[in-house]
Amino acid sequence: MDILQDLGSGFLLGALAWFAVRCILTGFFTVDQSERAVKVRLGRAVRLAGEPTTREGPVSEGLARTDEARYVYPQLEVIQPGGPYFKWPWEKVIKVSVATQTLSMAYDPESPGANQGGEVLEAVTKDQLNTGLTGQIRYRISEQNLYAYLFAVKNPIAHAMGYFISILRERIASFEAPPPPAPEGTLEAVEATAVSGVSINDLRKNLRALNEHMDRECRGSLSRYGLVLDASLITGIDPPAEVESALAAINTAHNHVSSDISLAQAAADQKIVQSRRAVEIETLKAQAEVEPLNALAEQLTVLKRSGPGALQAYLRNIRLGLFSKASQVVLGVKS
């Protein structure tokens, strides 16, 4: 009987010790500043009260209307940084890092050796030129849609990269340079069109617009995969080696044409300035000749108004001054 009591007491003490180790010592956890955590209780992620979905709120704003019904996920109860927090043995805590991360845009998570070891991404331009793209993307896991990242997609990074690459290749295949800002028919417009028309040149000149387009079109990755693509940083667009020399020759010819147009425009501007200066000089000369005549006319008008004989007296004085300066005078006699 004593043996049974001892066994029962030992079993009870063992159970209490197991409960203390399992529930108390391993039940507390903390969350780092760059992490967020969610609880899975008996195999089901803990939702927010009322179980709202990502269809409410700003998460679905980047989706097209036709895709809104496909990407509806429950919103989870996110555990913020800090602690200690407590969990029961039947609960599981999943932590994710929400820090911004950088990847090469040619990186393939499922085949790291693809795309030349994840360094160069190939894409075809509108004029059928196979180009190599280099650059990076910045992304982070969004705490607003952790369900999509943790439970809805098996490999969200691979899906997000495929999503990004498909949009980028479609954009490069259909890219056209915007029209020149200069009015049509001007020398500026001629100069702008002289160096355009080759798609890779247009892409290189509009890298900023291409990056902005990618940022705008990839906003749907938040609602699709729980990832936010912060920025697209395309840094290089290189042609294949077999056409690089030909493309360099085309660019050299375009640069030569652009230089000639600039020189012609500068010469024309100089001629216009010289013509304007000549017109101004001749105008000033004409005004200098007209001004004394206008002053004399005003004086004669004042003299005429001063009295009936004033103008005749003025003419007589002028005539006498001329007579005093003349060496000979010829007088005519009226018949």
What radius of gyration, in Å, describes the C-alpha atoms of the chain?
A: 44
Classify residue 193: in a domain, yes or no.
no
Classify residue 47: in a domain, yes or no.
yes
Count of Cβ atoms closer than 10 Å to residue 236 Cβ: 12
- Give 3-state DSSP helix, strand, coil % of the chain, rounded to 5: 55, 20, 25
Residues 78 and 150 in one domain: yes
- pLDDT tens digits, one per residue of 212-267: 888 888 888 888 888 888 888 888 888 777 777 777 777 788 788 888 888 898 99
Residues 141 and 29 in one domain: yes
Kindly tell me if the per-residue pLDDT of 186 is higher than 80.
no
Confidence at 191, pLDDT banded by 50, 70, 90: low
Kindly tell me if the per-residue pLDDT of 182 is higher than 70.
no
Kindly tell me if the per-residue pLDDT of 272 is higher than 90.
yes
Residues 28 and 110 in one domain: yes
Structural domains in the chain (count)? 2
Owner of token pair 């896991």: 141
Residues 223 and 287 in one domain: no
Beta-strand (E) ranges in 109-161? 121-124, 130-141
Classify residue 192: in a domain, yes or no.
no
Average pLDDT of the chain, as a whole number:
84
What's residue 51's pLDDT? Answer: 84
- What phi and psi, each to the nearest 5 degrees, are found at residue 219? -65, -20
Residues 147 and 274 in one domain: no
What's residue 1's pLDDT? Answer: 59
Beta-strand (E) ranges in 52-90? 82-86
In angstroms, the CA 56 to CA 327 distance is: 112
Residues 78 and 223 in one domain: yes
Which structural domain range is residue 297 located in? 250-317
What's residue 196's pLDDT? Answer: 53
What's residue 118's pLDDT? Answer: 85
Residues 214 and 77 in one domain: yes
What's residue 183's pLDDT? Answer: 59
What's residue 275's pLDDT? Answer: 95
Residues 231 and 290 in one domain: no
Which helix (H) or strand (E) is 329 found in, with range?
Answer: none
Residues 14 and 155 in one domain: yes
Two structure tokens written together for 92: 């599981």
Classify residue 26: in a domain, yes or no.
yes
What's residue 237's pLDDT? Answer: 84
Helix axes of 187-194 and 241-306: crossing angle, nearest 10 degrees: 180
Q: Which of 10-14, 20-24, 141-145, 190-194 has the lowest mean pLDDT?
A: 190-194
Q: What is the CATH number of the domain that holds 146?
A: 3.30.479.30
Q: For residue 187, what are the contacts with CB-CB under 8 A and spacing of at least 6?
A: 261, 264, 265, 268
Residues 219 and 304 in one domain: no
